Structure formats: structure tokens, C-alpha cells
Chain A
Amino acid sequence: MFSSLLQAIVSGLMTGSLIALPAIGFTTIFAVLRYPSFAIAAYMTIGGFAAIYANQHFGMGVIPLLLLAAVVSGLVGLLAEQTALAPLRPAGALTAAIGSIALNVVLENIVRFSFGNDLQGFDLPIHPDMRFGPIRVGTQQLQNLAIAVVVMGGIFAFLRFSRFGRAMRAVADNDDLARLKGIDPKIISGVAVAVGAALAGVGGVLLGMDTSIDPLTGYRVLLSVFAAAVLGGLGSIPGAVVGALAIGVAEEVSLLAVPATYRGAIAFFAILAMLTFRPRGLLGERST
């Protein structure tokens, strides 16, 4: 019984690691631009397809694929943001969020138009789990987790310690004041979106390696990504990772008591519980 629980927790960390990077991307965009961007699903899918194309046509390996996905998704995110979503931001977070939903539909269908609905997979090796006693741990997922933690650390440090990062936080807190100090919010928001979308792209590749790549790859996990970011506290980078892992663990552990068919609902109950007792999320900042 105990080993089942332990295995569930370990599996939960593995599952959570799949959505950790997109969750960081989502929350980065929220942190600076102050709206939830549902286009994150499309950025994931696009990153995945860019990597598939490179893997199938040029035989690229894992690390180059991740970098390529980051670049392609980052650029797409930047372009989409500047053309379609930036004009909506002054109208409020809700309008921008709805715009991002519309944008997601458009981008998803551009992918579908170009590549069709067929499932695609990477020509990369797959490894069986490692075993530590009765517990099995996925090598791929450990890798994902490691990448997520490293990226989280990097972004967190960037935001806290670098000049540019501090500028990003300034813009997030008070756009006009930041402008007074000579910081150009437009550049800052551009970087924020590019970074957020790039992370989503990388997340999409890692997710695709575990599952498959098709136009709905990002859309399928969108709710989980959103939930993870909310659980961890919208705008908190470490929170996104913690939230993602927490949701993963909650889902896997719940399977010991609840039928597998209700897995999708667990995340929401976890969120409801969290937000009722601690509205700012696990690591969120207190709202002013």
C-alpha cells in the first residue's frame, strides 16, 4: 500500500514535469503582460511541429530540436502578440484572453492546414523506466523535470537579478512608471511573450516525445497548464513548476481512490480547494 502511494507520488512528479515548462511560459506572459494567454496551446503545437519537421527531414537530435522549437515558437508568439493581441491589451485582461482563444483557433488550424491531422512521432530512442526497488522512474520524464527546474532557475534569476529582468518586473507592476524610468514597455512585453512562447514550444516538443504530435497536442493539455499556473500562483515562475508537479501528484494519487475516468476533474477540485484556502495560490504574490 505504501509503495503504491510512493509510486503514485513519483509518477505524479513525472506527469507534472510534462506541463511544467508550458506552465512557466503561461505564467511568464501573465507576469509581465497581465493576461492569461490561451494561445500557449498553439505555441506548444507549433514548437512540436517545427521539431518534427527538423527531425524527419534533417535528423536533428534532442537538444538542437529543443532549441529550434524555442526559436520558432518564440518568433510566432512575438509576431502573433504584436499583430493580434497587443492592441487588445489596453481593453483589459479579459478581452486579451478572449483574443488569445481566437488566436489559438487560428494558429491550430494553420497547423492543421499545413500538416493534416495525422499523428507524428520523433525518430528518437525511447527508454524503459529505471527501477529503484519497487519504484519505477521514467528517464525521459526525469530529463523533463531537470530541464524544467533548470529553466525555472534561469528565468527566476533573470527576472530577479538582471537589469532587463528587473525592467520586466517594473513594467509588470506599473507600466507608466517604468516608462518614466526610460524602460520601453513594448520591448519588454515583446521579450516576455517571446520567452513565454519559446518555453511553450520546448514544452510541446518534450510533451510530443512522450505522446505524439498532432494539431491538438497543445489543446489537450491547455486546461492542465492553466490549472498548474493558477495553482502555483499566477505570475510566479517557481509557482508554475510547483503547481504543475502538484497537479501531477494530485492526479496520480487520486487514482488510488477515484476511477480513472474522473482524472480530468481532480485538477479543478485541487484548484478550488487551494484557492478557497489560499487565494494567491501556492507561491503567488499577495494581491494589492
Chain B
Amino acid sequence: MTSYVLFTLTIGGIYALLALSLNLVWGMAGMVNLGLAGFFAVGAYASAIATGSGAPVVLGWLIAIACGVVAGLVITFATLRLRDDYLAIVTLGFGEVVRLVALNERWLTNGADGISGIPGPLKQSLGQTGFPIFYLILVSAIVCLVWLVLRRLDLSPYGRTLKAIREDQELTRFAGKPVLRFKYEAFALAAAIAALAGALYGHFQSYVSPDHFQSLITIYIFLAVTAGGVGRPLGAVAGAYAVVIFLEATRFFADVLPGLQPVQLAAVREMLVGAALLVVLLWKPTGLLSERIAPATPRTGSP
């Protein structure tokens, strides 16, 4: 049972990083990223390929982050002139294209076989009992770090500007803020975080494949951010852990519902995820933890 708990919490941490990424672009800056799974994949594959060619693990992770940044910039550049609604479909397309490339370009990604044997850092020396504990601590530490950074961002003038962009882009531009630069930066940072999550996942599981990065994950992360509190980094983290725990808890429902076929039980389980998201949205559309917008510094002198 302990391994299961350790494992679930580690996955929760990885989901938390993805949720922080989504919260940054969508919750704070109002840009919809439906291709989250794509950035997750880019990071996982980048690190897997790099370490497969002999790079040390930490370098692999840095490469993953760099690839994430590049991907984020490419997307933002490509959608410069588009209405924000359309960013949704472009990111969706991005996710799909990443999956197709991973699936079909065998020379690069090993195609449908996926990449096995991704080295886990310190796995040899820590052995089977030590490695999961180490990794949980590592992932949790990274989650804390990223959360702290984003929290500061959230409460800073930078964060306030992002939220202003989310609420009314034109007005923010009118107020003299370089909207485009903010969007680029936010998206690139978010992509970097998602890519890091991917790299951490790959080295944890030692195997990645195109199959891993389905849109199912994007739906779960949207649930996490929505449930936890849109715009609030702590909400994203809490939401992510809650989602993973919820996903695992639904497995045990099978014992409660007798007389159903396995396919029906599986359907009930998936239904519960959708229903949970609906319930949260209907009850508290902005999530459980409410957003905090730091007040602007007060001016001296009268307006």
C-alpha cells in the first residue's frame, strides 16, 4: 500500500506542475491551452532522446525545458494575429501534431514502440525502495519551487498585468503595457513548466510512448485547475492532487456496486470524472480557492 501512496503522490506532483502551467496561461493570462498534452510530450521525449544519446539526466531536463520554451514561442508566434478563441483550436492542433510526429517518425522517437529504458536519476544506487521515496521528494520539491515562483508572480505587478490582459486585452494595451511580450513570456514559461513535468514523468516511468499523451490528460488538468481555483497557483496544485486522488478513489467504487459488468464499471468510473467536473463548475465556477488580485500600490497625492 505504501508504494501505491508514494506513487500516487508523485503522479499528483507531476499533474500539479501541469496544472500550474495551465493556470499560468489560462487562469492568469486567459489564453486557452488545449494542447497541454503536447507540451508534456515534447518535454518527455526531448529528455528521453537526449539522455538516450548519452546526456546526463539533469542536462536532459534542461534540454526538455528549452524545447518547451521553443514550442511555446512557436505557438504564440503562429497565433499572433488570431482571436483568442482560435488559440484554442491551434493549441489543440499542436497537441495532435506532436502525437502524430511521435507516432510516425520512428527515426526520432522510435514510433509506436516508444522509448524504453529512460534512466532514472540515482536509481541504481537507491534501489527499489529508495528510488520512489527520493523521486517523490524531488518532484514535490520542484512543485513547491514552481509554486512559490508563480505565487510571487501572481501577487506582483507582473501577475496583475497578466490578469488585466485576461480581462481586457485592448484596455491593457491602451494602458501602455506591451501585451504581446507578456503573452509570449507567459506562454513560454508555461510551456517550459509543462515540458519539465514531461521530463520528470519520463524519468520516473522509464518509458514514454505516443500513447501516453492523450487528450484525456488535458481534460484532467482542466478539471484540476477549474476545481482548485482559476487564477490561483495554490488552487491549481490542490486541484491536481485532488484529481489524482479522486481518479484513484473511483477504482474502489467497484466494490460498492455489485452486479455490473466490467465495462459498465469502467464507464461509471469515467462518468464520475465528468460528473465531478460538472458539479464543481456548477457549484463554484471559479473553483474552490478564490483568486487573489494584489492591489496596485497606492498613489501619493490626489487623483
Contact = CB atoms under 8 A, between A and B. Distances in A.
Contact of B263 (A88, A116, A275): A116
B81 A223 contact: no
Interface residues of A, number: 43
Given A99-B278, A117-B263, A287 B97 contact: no
B206 interface: no
Which of B85, B97, B219, B222 has the most A CB atoms < 10 Å from its CB? B85
Contacts of B89: 226-227, 230, 268, 271
A105 to B, nearest CB: 3
B96 A264 contact: yes
Nearest to B283: A87
Contacts of B90: 268, 271-272, 275
Interface string B248-269: 0000000000000101101110
Contacts of A94: 26, 32
A265 B271 contact: no
Contact of A268 (B96, B274, B275): B96
A234 to B, nearest CB: 7
Contact of A93 (B85, B92, B100, B223): B85
B93 interface: yes
Contacts of A226: 89, 92
B273 interface: yes
Nearest to A90: B285
A112 B271 CA distance: 10
A233 B92 CA distance: 17
B100 A264 contact: yes
Contacts, number: 118
Contacts of A112: 263-264, 266-267, 270
Interface in A64-123: 84, 87-88, 91, 93-95, 97-99, 101-106, 108-110, 112-113, 116-117
A268 B93 contact: yes
B104 A275 contact: no
A287 B278 CA distance: 30
A84 B282 CA distance: 7
Nearest to B98: A265
B264 A113 contact: yes
A165 interface: no
Contacts of B242: none
B175 interface: no
A93 B87 CA distance: 14
A158 interface: no
Nearest to B26: A94
A117 B273 CA distance: 19
A262 B223 CA distance: 30
Contacts of B82: 275-276, 279
A259 interface: yes
A262 B100 contact: yes
Given A264-B96, A268-B89, A268-B90, A105 B281 contact: no
Contact of B285 (A95, A105, A287): A95
A186 to B, nearest CB: 17
A226 B92 CA distance: 10
Interface of B: 26, 32, 78, 81-83, 85-86, 88-90, 92-94, 96-97, 100, 103-104, 219, 222-223, 226, 261, 263-264, 266-268, 270-271, 273-275, 277-278, 281-282, 285-286
Given A98-B277, A105-B274, 19 more contacts: A36-B85, A84-B282, A88-B282, A101-B222, A101-B277, A105-B271, A105-B273, A106-B275, A108-B270, A109-B270, A110-B267, A113-B267, A227-B93, A264-B100, A268-B92, A271-B90, A271-B93, A275-B81, A275-B82
Interface of A: 36, 84, 87-88, 91, 93-95, 97-99, 101-106, 108-110, 112-113, 116-117, 223, 226-227, 230, 234, 259, 261-262, 264-265, 267-269, 271-272, 275-276, 279, 287
